[in-house]
Amino acid sequence: MNGFTYTELDIDKLYETLTMIRDVFMEFEAPDYSEEGIEEFLCFLEPDEIMEKLENKELRIWVCEYDDKISGAIAASEDHINLLFVAAEHHRKGIARRLLEIMKENYNPVKITVNSSPYALEAYRRLGFKETDTEQEIKGIRYTPMVWYSKGIIMKVTKNDIRKAIAETGLSGELVCIHSSLSSFGEVEGGADTVIDAFLEEGCTILAPSFSYFYSLPRVEIIEQNDNDYDDEPFESNGKIYNTGINEIAPDMGAIPRTMLLRAGRSRGYHPTNSFVAIGPEAEKLVSCQTPEEVYAPFQKLMDLNGKIVMIGVGLTKMTAIHYAEKLSGRNLFINWALDKNGNTIRIREGSCSDGFDKLDSAVEKLEKQTTVGNSLWRIFPIKETVEACAEAIKKDPSITYCGKPNCGRCNDMQKGGPVL
Ligand SMILES: CC(C)(COP(=O)(O)OP(=O)(O)OC[C@H]1O[C@@H](n2cnc3c(N)ncnc32)[C@H](O)[C@@H]1OP(=O)(O)O)[C@@H](O)C(=O)NCCC(=O)NCCS
């Protein structure tokens, strides 16, 4: 027993509950709202109106109590959360998660919607919700519509659904770099091929990372600030020679790039470990500029051609173009080694640790457009402005890319500017 009890609200405690909600609102949400928004929200908390909704069973409230004091509350109708508030001193103790479970146990909904405050966005994401639109503002109240689907609900997605999303977000005919999780959709009829076809039929050229780390050689020489996860001692070559015709790809790259590689007419860049694959009218133009030294040349080309980045059910930690932003901010990219076409050992360039890239969210949020396809949240960015905004943010605060693990040699060295040459 941890001292917290969860019950449906006893009407005698309505006033105390609304006072807790009001206090939490003033501390965590009001700073993001205009005067009008604050007033509008406080009106919503009028006890008489809430009481009426409770009596009509339009609304139910469950609360968490600690030491006989209300410390959290969820107010919900069948499949919508109206209010979810936890007293400041009890944040991050799992109270919101438990209150949400109680709502689910009582209503058994197949989906739940919520209009998240700016403050609660990340918490709702952690609770399994996804944005269904960008931030809205009505009467001074800022919110992002979000949805949660019960695990049993698998959204079926067709090629037409994907084409519609491409057309509606203005991506038709564009050059797009995609980073994708196929499973984020739910179930796509026809799998990865359907996603690729949808983009091609909308006239797009698609570019995706098709990395093949296993073509790298163990460390060949020691270079200061080049802690790219190498062992301490130099090794012999493992003898594998990369060429652009191979279809090998690291398993963590996902089903879509893997399937792109198998398509006739695809183009693959020349970089033994960090190649890109492209399909569509401008495919060759995008990847033919890639070299072992100029690993991110396809991004510069995409920037010159005003292309877009589409994050399909994945976050900024998967946005490879941020490594290019690191380079543009003045960092040296890490050095690794591989065999060239003739079997000679050469230096190649690679990105660093990307686990901290979510922190660049605030630098790019104004550039972002969103849509949902099935269960998959698509985040769409203009590449040029996005890479430039990230480069600027990294210049201003080099620790912004830090992943948070004190022993991350890659982050530590990259923050200092990367290898000393
Ligand atoms: C949003 C709020 C209800 C979360 O309550 P909570 O009891 O602290 O949440 P929990 O402890 O159950 O955490 C649930 C998940 O969200 C994460 N989380 C909670 N607060 C977070 C925050 N401020 N930032 C990022 N993640 C957060 C938790 O880490 C947890 O994820 P995990 O299990 O993967 O670690 C609480 O912060 C709050 O009352 N905020 C102010 C009011 C508000 O904005 N309400 C939403 C109105 S729509």
Is 90 exceeded by the pLDDT of residue 138?
Answer: no
Does residue 28's CB lie within 6 angstroms of at least one atom of ligand 1?
yes
Does a structural domain hold residue 47? yes
pLDDT score at 234: 45
Residues 201, 194: Cα–Cα separation, whole Å: 10
CATH (domain of 68): 3.40.630.30
Q: How many domains does the chain have?
A: 2
pLDDT score at 287: 98
Q: With both helix axes pointing from N to C terminus, report the angle between 297-304 and 383-396 in degrees, rounded to the nearest 10.
A: 120
Examine the domain organization and report whether 265 and 339 are in the same domain. yes
Asked if 276 contacts 195 with a C-beta cutoff of 8 angstroms, the reply is no
Atom from ligand 1 closest to the CA of residue 125:
16
Residues 252, 250: Cα–Cα separation, whole Å: 6
Does a structural domain hold residue 421? no
Point out the least confidently predicted range of 11-20, 114-123, 137-146: 137-146
Does a structural domain hold residue 252? yes
pLDDT score at 134: 74
pLDDT score at 45: 92
pLDDT score at 421: 84
- Residue that finishes a domain, picked among 149, 167, 184: 149
Is 70 exceeded by the pLDDT of residue 236?
Answer: no
Ligand 1 midpoint to CA 64 (Å): 14
Q: For the chain, what is the HEC assignment?
A: CCCEEEEECCHHHHHHHHHHHHHHHHHHHHHHCCHHHHHHHHHHCCHHHHHHHHHCCCCEEEEEEECCEEEEEEEEECCEEEEEEECHHHCCCCHHHHHHHHHHHHHCCCEEEEEECCCCHHHHHHCCCEECCCCEEECCEEEEEEEEECCCCCCEECHHHHHHHHHHCCCCCCEEEEEECHHHHCEECCCHHHHHHHHHHCCCEEEEECCCHHHEECCCCCCCCCCCCCCCCCCCCCCCCCCCCCCCCCHHHCHHHHHHHCCCCCEECCCCCCCEEEECCCHHHHHCCCCCCCCCHHHHHHHHCCCEEEEECCCHHHCCHHHHHHHHCCCCCEEEEEECCCCCEEEEEECCCCCCHHHHHHHHHHHCEEEEECCEEEEEEEHHHHHHHHHHHHHHCHHHHCCCCCCCHHHHHHHCCCCCC
Q: What value does the mean pLDDT of the chain take?
A: 93
- For residues 43-56, average pLDDT: 92
pLDDT score at 276: 98
Examine the domain organization and report whether 144 and 179 are in the same domain. no
Residues 248, 258: Cα–Cα separation, whole Å: 8
- Residue that finishes a domain, picked among 149, 179, 208: 149
Instruction: Give the residue, by CA position, lying nearest to ligand 1 atom 18.
Output: 123
- Residue that finishes a domain, picked among 131, 149, 167: 149
- Alpha carbon dihedral 250, 252, 253, 259, in 10-degree steps, equals 80
Does a structural domain hold residue 369? yes
Give the pLDDT band of residue 230 (cuts 50, 70, 90): low
Instruction: Among 2, 27, 45, 91, say which to mutate for ligand 1: greatest number of ligand atoms within 8 Å of CB.
Output: 91
Examine the domain organization and report whether 232 and 88 are in the same domain. no
Ligand 1 midpoint to CA 108 (Å): 22
Does residue 84's CB lie within 6 angstroms of at least one atom of ligand 1?
yes
Examine the domain organization and report whether 136 and 200 are in the same domain. no
pLDDT digits (tens, 9 = 90+) for 399-412: 999 998 888 999 99
Q: Is the dihedral of CA 409, 410, 415, 421 positive or negative?
A: positive
Residues 256, 191: Cα–Cα separation, whole Å: 9
pLDDT digits (tens, 9 = 90+) for 155-189: 789 999 999 999 999 999 999 999 999 988 988 99
Examine the domain organization and report whether 382 and 235 are in the same domain. yes
Give the pLDDT band of residue 1 (cuts 50, 70, 90): very low
Q: CA-CA distances (angstroms) from residue 127 to 61, 98, 100, 121, 188? A: 19, 10, 9, 10, 24
Of the two residues 383 and 143, the one the predictor is more confident about is 383
Phi, psi of 71, rounded to the nearest 5 degrees = -120, 0
Q: CA-CA distances (angstroms) from residue 164 to 158, 174, 201, 240, 372? A: 10, 14, 11, 43, 11
Count CA atoms closer than 13 A to 244's CA, side-chain side. 17
Instruction: Give the residue, by CA position, lying nearest to ligand 1 atom 44.
Output: 120
Does a structural domain hold residue 420? no
Is 60 exceeded by the pLDDT of residue 233?
Answer: no
Q: What percent of the chain has pLDDT over 70?
A: 97
- For residues 284-312, average pLDDT: 98
Examine the domain organization and report whether 113 and 197 are in the same domain. no
- For residues 341-357, average pLDDT: 95
pLDDT digits (tens, 9 = 90+) for 318-328: 999 999 999 99
Examine the domain organization and report whether 243 and 110 are in the same domain. no
Instruction: Among 92, 93, 97, 131, say which to mutate for ligand 1: greatest number of ligand atoms within 8 Å of CB.
Output: 92
Show the domain range for 26: 4-149
Residue 244 structure tokens: 């652009």
pLDDT score at 112: 92
Residue 324 structure tokens: 């290019």
Does a structural domain hold residue 164? yes
Does residue 121's CB lie within 6 angstroms of at least one atom of ligand 1?
no
Point out the least confidently predicted range of 12-26, 83-97, 106-120: 106-120
Give the pLDDT band of residue 354 (cuts 50, 70, 90): very high
Examine the domain organization and report whether 201 and 167 are in the same domain. yes
Residue 309 structure tokens: 């980045």
Is 70 exceeded by the pLDDT of residue 343?
Answer: yes
pLDDT digits (tens, 9 = 90+) for 63-72: 999 999 999 9
pLDDT digits (tens, 9 = 90+) for 89-102: 999 999 999 999 99
Examine the domain organization and report whether 265 and 340 are in the same domain. yes
Examine the domain organization and report whether 161 and 195 are in the same domain. yes
- For residues 104-109, average pLDDT: 92
Q: What percent of the chain has pLDDT over 90?
A: 81
Give the pLDDT band of residue 235 (cuts 50, 70, 90): very low
Does a structural domain hold residue 78? yes
Does a structural domain hold residue 238? yes
The residue assigned the tokens 């009509």 is 56
Examine the domain organization and report whether 129 and 182 are in the same domain. no
Is 70 exceeded by the pLDDT of residue 289?
Answer: yes
Distance of CA 13 to the CA centre of its chain: 40
Asked if 228 contacts 410 with a C-beta cutoff of 8 angstroms, the reply is yes
Return the amino acid letter for 224: E
Examine the domain organization and report whether 113 and 259 are in the same domain. no
The residue assigned the tokens 């919503």 is 44
- For residues 282-303, average pLDDT: 98
pLDDT score at 251: 82
